[in-house]
Chains A and B, each alone.
Chain A
Amino acid sequence: MIRLTKVKALWIYETMVRIRRFEERSIELFQAGELPGFLHAYIGEEAVAAGVCAHLTPKDQITSTHRGHGHMIAKGLQYEGMFAELYARATGYCKGKGGSMHIADQDLGALGANGIVGGGIPIAAGAALGLRFKGEKHVAVSFFGDGASNEGAFHEGINIAATWKLPAVFVCENNGFAESTPRATHQAVQDIADRAKAYGMPGIVVDGMDPQAVYEVAGEAIARARKGRGPTLIEAKTMRFLGHYVGDPGTAYGHDKEVGKWLKRDPIITFAEVLVKKKWLNKSNIDAIHANVNNEMEEAIEFARKSPEPELGDAMTDIYASV
């Protein structure tokens, strides 16, 4: 059993706050017309990214989704480069060429958010294979949603990972809706984790609103992968608190009715209560964490605003390493 230490618990709490505040401010900036494109907010699902990434080092790799800000922050990407990317600035993680759905940093083992549902799953399998080739005990973790579990890429990537016993962990964030389609109308299984059996690998359901539970389950799976015993499929039951994208009220498909009971389980509130009860946090610590995150964030936003846009010539670079 992987025990949650005080150090890790505080890291998870702060990471969840960092994700939440990033998303809240991004939404404000987007609605103020400062950010181009569109956003998919991770609000509500923070316990999954934080609980899993608490086990990872920069050498471990992740693939992510269109709703990827949370995974990137949990993997160690910094506010400055992330906000600059959302502002489409040359100082962004992708020099303003990727945007919200493609934030990545290979140096931190973040192989990208991904605009294609399920697209990162075989890539994570490949990263796991590459890590094993190099003889390193690192792992690759793929985050994806319930919708992605119906893609062929899910089947192909997970089957390869299981067959080759790759050091990979597949984390399905089941938030109950594939964009606007409720779970029951896009798959017959109640638990996506059940599908693991079909690939010859363990499948575990975990409460995705409980960071400690996620941490423990992910810890077992990641340790198993590091030991060379193969991949695990983790299904984290969770809920995005907002619509599919910023601007989607969620009213057309029943999300607004469903979300109420999940709001009561907001992991940032409930986990703070747990930590206060353990005396690992008190009100003034919590306020300090929020204040620090907010200060750092406002500085990062200012950095992004003041950063230069890409030059027109930059449109034609980074297509090839060399031609």
Chain B
Amino acid sequence: MREILYREAIIEALDEEMARDGSVFLLGEDIAEFGGSYKTTVGLLEKYGAERVRNTPISEQGIIGTALGSALVGMRPVAELMYIDFSAVAMDQIVNQVAKVRYMFGGKANTSLVIRTQGGAGRSSAAQHAQSLEAWFVHVPGLKVVMPSSARDAKGLLKAAIRDDDPVFFIEHKLLYLERGAVPEEEEVIPIGVAEVKREGSDLTIVATSSMVGKSLAAAKELENEGVSCEVIDPRTLFPLDTETILASVRKTGRLLITHEAVQRCGWGAEIAAMAAKDAFDYLDAPIERVCAKETPVPFSPKLESYVIPDKDDVIAGVRGMLETV
């Protein structure tokens, strides 16, 4: 299978969906001539024109509100928030408007819109450009939250998100944009709400999101040399959540480690831990472990940033700690 960059997979998904459906259009800051801050819309202006690839003012709540209004009259907007950190500026529109209009209106509302954004640390972007805020959005009924970890997932899930009739908060990762991965040439739509077992194993289940999937796979490879067999599951969609794939794995391995780049406190991992503790209680052979960012804003210093953000070695240490407890 051919290999392309994660950011190229995003462009392909947008391109194919815009070609397929005239009601799909893009809006966001610097997405037209500039091609997006992370070059995820390059070439689309030339192909689809300035009406459908719309540069916006730096007005995040304006972007989201405008996307919502256009969806309500039948469009399928894909809004880009340059950084997930900037979602804080648009929170009323995302949380009080986008997520709730369908319910508030008694079900009669077109809310087919995608909010694309990117998060994550690793580039010394510091405290306002490197957060992992996915838990905020998973917490809000009415939103779907997707977090692809590979080029293939990014493309297939973005296509599904654009076709979905619900608002989808689609979180990419700034370090993954330049990672290359196999993506089929033929059309592939990956359904929202389906996890993927990225690696099979028998001793321990690692549930990882976004950038932590690759780090977990690398950790599993090293641990294999020590005779430890880890299963790595990427939920891909944080809500709706494929609970069965996770629970089936935990029932098989008896151990669960959850890892994400967001801080641990009230993170998405806490929800997974609670679910497993309830629904796989009898199968657990060790306390559930979490490997997450330290509870601090993201520091600028590369040294400090790599200290607070979990890496492969943190996952390995977490796994070893769990095996020692037996």
Interface residues of A (CB under 8 A from B): 61, 63, 92-98, 102, 104-107, 111-112, 114-116, 119, 121-131, 133-134, 140, 152-153, 155-157, 159-160, 163-164, 317-323
Contacts and interface: CB of A to CB of B under 8 A. Distances in A.
Q: Give the size category of B's interface with A.
A: 35 or more
Contacts of A133: 23, 25, 51, 70, 75
Contact of B105 (A94, A124, A128): A94
Given A160-B56, A320-B166, A129 B69 contact: yes
Interface string B201-218: 000000000000000000
Interface string B68-84: 11111111010000000
A214 B71 CA distance: 30
Nearest to A131: B73
A309 to B, nearest CB: 14
Given A140-B69, A319-B102, 11 more contacts: A94-B106, A102-B105, A104-B109, A119-B65, A122-B64, A123-B97, A130-B70, A133-B70, A318-B103, A319-B141, A320-B102
A114 B60 CA distance: 19
Contacts of A125: 62, 65-66, 69
B301 interface: no
B74 A153 contact: no
B32 to A, nearest CB: 13
Contacts of A123: 65-66, 68-69, 72, 93, 97
A119 B92 CA distance: 8
A85 to B, nearest CB: 8
Given A153-B61, A156-B57, A320-B144, A126 B108 contact: no
Contact of B97 (A119, A159, A164): A119
A156 B62 contact: yes
B61 A122 contact: yes
Interface of B: 23, 25, 51, 54, 56-57, 59-62, 64-75, 77, 92-93, 96-97, 101-112, 141-142, 144, 164-166, 193, 240
B31 to A, nearest CB: 15
Contacts of B104: 94, 97-98, 102, 104, 112
Contacts of B65: 119, 121-123, 125-126, 153, 156-157
B111 A127 contact: no
Contacts of B111: 321
Given A127-B73, A130-B74, A323-B240, A157 B66 contact: yes
B92 A97 contact: no
Given A122-B62, A130-B69, A134-B74, A116 B92 contact: yes
B159 to A, nearest CB: 16
B105 A104 contact: yes
Going nearest first, the 4 A-B pairs with the smallest beta carbon separation are A126-B69, A122-B65, A156-B62, A130-B70
Given A122-B62, A156-B65, A322-B166, A98 B105 contact: yes
Contacts of B59: 155-156, 159-160
Contacts of B67: 126
A126 B74 CA distance: 11
Contacts of B69: 61, 63, 111, 122-130, 140
15 contacts: A102-B105, A106-B110, A111-B72, A122-B93, A123-B68, A126-B70, A126-B72, A131-B73, A134-B73, A134-B75, A153-B65, A160-B59, A317-B107, A319-B102, A321-B166
A156 B57 CA distance: 8
A105 B108 contact: yes
A93 B70 contact: no
Contacts of B105: 93-94, 98, 102, 104-106, 112
Nearest to B22: A133
A156 B86 CA distance: 15
Contacts of B102: 318-321
A119 B23 contact: no
B142 to A, nearest CB: 6
Given A127-B73, A133-B70, A112 B101 contact: yes
A97 B109 CA distance: 13
A115 B240 CA distance: 27
A318 B72 contact: no
B71 A126 contact: yes
B106 A98 contact: yes
Nearest to B98: A123
A159 B61 CA distance: 12
B64 to A, nearest CB: 7
A322 B66 CA distance: 23
Given A106-B105, A111-B69, A129-B66, A320 B57 contact: no
B23 to A, nearest CB: 7
A75 to B, nearest CB: 14
Contacts of A320: 102, 142, 144, 166
Contact of B96 (A104, A119, A319): A119
Contacts of B141: 319
Nearest to A111: B72
B26 to A, nearest CB: 12
Contacts of A317: 107
The winner among B51, B56, B64, B73 for most chain A CB atoms within 10 A is B73
A13 B59 CA distance: 40
A160 B71 contact: no
A123 B65 CA distance: 5
A286 to B, nearest CB: 35
Nearest to B62: A156
B325 to A, nearest CB: 36
A95 B25 CA distance: 32
Contacts of B142: 319-320
The winner among A105, A140, A157 for most chain B CB atoms within 10 A is A157
